[in-house]
Amino acid sequence: MNRQQILQLCMQELSNRRTQAQTVAYKNLMKARKHPEFLEIEKKERQLIFEIGKMSAFGGVPIEIQMKLDDIREEKNEILKKIGIHPDKLKPSYHCPHCSDIGYIDKVQCTCLKKIINNILMKESGVGKEILTDFKDFDENVATEQSHKETLLKLKKKFETYLDSFPYNTPKFILLSGKTGVGKTFITECLAKGLIDRGFLVSFVSAFGMNNMFLSYHTCFDDQKQNYMSALIDPDVLVIDDLGTEPNLKNVTIPYLHVLLSERSRLNKLTIVTTNLDAQEILTKYNERIFSRLCNKKESFRAQIVGTDLRLNPNK
């Protein structure tokens, strides 16, 4: 799903909320109009509002006329209470009192729309979790070795600078290497969560899942073909988890991985890769072109995290 589709989905949700609130209010109005007393006072109110409108166009409204309208409305509210309908129930009860479920205030996105967008971005990320960890949850002390703690803390500070400047002054590739459980995925999630909160489209995919998408693209010959690659190319940020665990499919894995990395580089989109492989192993498993994309100092930031499995720390 691209950014425009996400916005359309959000606006449709707001439209449904608005319609629902207006429908409830209208049903309450129809219920009130079943009572002759309410119909009569509503008629008086409409007539007086019409007269006030004409007066306003020709100079002004006498205070006694305005007071009369206030009296009519007070009487109307008393009638509603008597028939068991609170006066507020005739007005739509919108989810958002700030924008009335329109989504914008003076052409600026309302916080309610931003929240809906954020929720959809989280679901679209494919991380498989309702709540991502972020830097508020970060604690380098989960590591037992001092060097491991220092590495995690340096990465946290580095990634926080990326958050403040993204998409400017950030690398095209981030490569995090290290053994299982050293914190690669955790700190990647922290960065991804911060970017999602800022409205960027972030997508998570395992290396195995990415490889399957390459294969589907390779073997597809209908109108759906481009969708497989677009799903990997379109996001502002793509996280490829556990690169190196996928099987090397002939004429599929390496060629399409190179296409993907090259195209995302051309579009200046951030690609984050976590892997158990070191730089030499990446060069050996793939090829020099993929190695140069991920390890080129001009385009990428690379970090090796060395330490013991954080999940085995009894004090975590």
Question: Residues 96-153: pLDDT tens digits?
Answer: 999 999 999 998 989 899 888 878 887 777 766 666 788 887 777 777 788 988 998 9
Count of alpha carbons within 13 angstroms of residue 101, beta-carbon side: 15
Average pLDDT over residues 268-284: 94
Phi first, then psi, for residue 111 (nearest 5°) are -60, -30
What is the total residue count of the chain? 316
Give yes or no for residue 316 having a pLDDT over 60. no
Q: What is the pLDDT of residue 130?
A: 60
What's the whole-model pTM score? Answer: 0.72
pLDDT-based confidence at residue 313 (cuts at 50, 70, 90): low
For range 86-102, the mean pLDDT: 94
Where residue 300 falls (left for φ over 0; alpha for ψ -120 to 50; beta otherwise) is beta
The long-range contacts involving 149-155, CB below 8 angstroms and separated by at least 24 positions, are 151/303, 151/305, 151/306, 151/307, 152/183, 152/187, 152/305, 155/187, 155/303, 155/305
- Strand order across the beta sheet in which 173-178 lies: 202-206, 237-243, 270-275, 173-178, 300-305
What integer pLDDT is reported at residue 131 of this predicted model? 66
Q: What is the pLDDT of residue 128?
A: 64
Task: Report pLDDT digits (tens) over 175-232.
Answer: 999 998 888 988 999 999 899 888 888 899 999 999 999 999 999 888 888 888 988 9
High-pLDDT (> 70) share of the chain, %:
96
Measured at the CA of 265, the angle between CA 260 and CA 269, to 5 degrees, comes to 95
Q: How far is residue 118's CA from residue 201's CA, in Å, rounded to a whole number?
A: 9
d(CA 256, CA 168): 27
Structure tokens at 21: 């609130």
Strand, coil or helix: 45: helix
| Distance from C-alpha of 120 to C-alpha of 284, rounded to nearest angstrom | 39
The predicted structure's pLDDT at residue 286 = 94
Question: Residue 45 has what pLDDT?
Answer: 93
Q: Round to whole Å and give the CA distance between 230 and 298.
A: 26
CB 25 within 8 A of CB 90: yes
Task: Please give the pLDDT value at position 111.
Answer: 87
Q: Is residue 289 scored above 90 in pLDDT?
A: yes
Cα(128)–Cα(132) distance, integer angstroms: 9
CATH class of the domain comprising 125-312: alpha beta
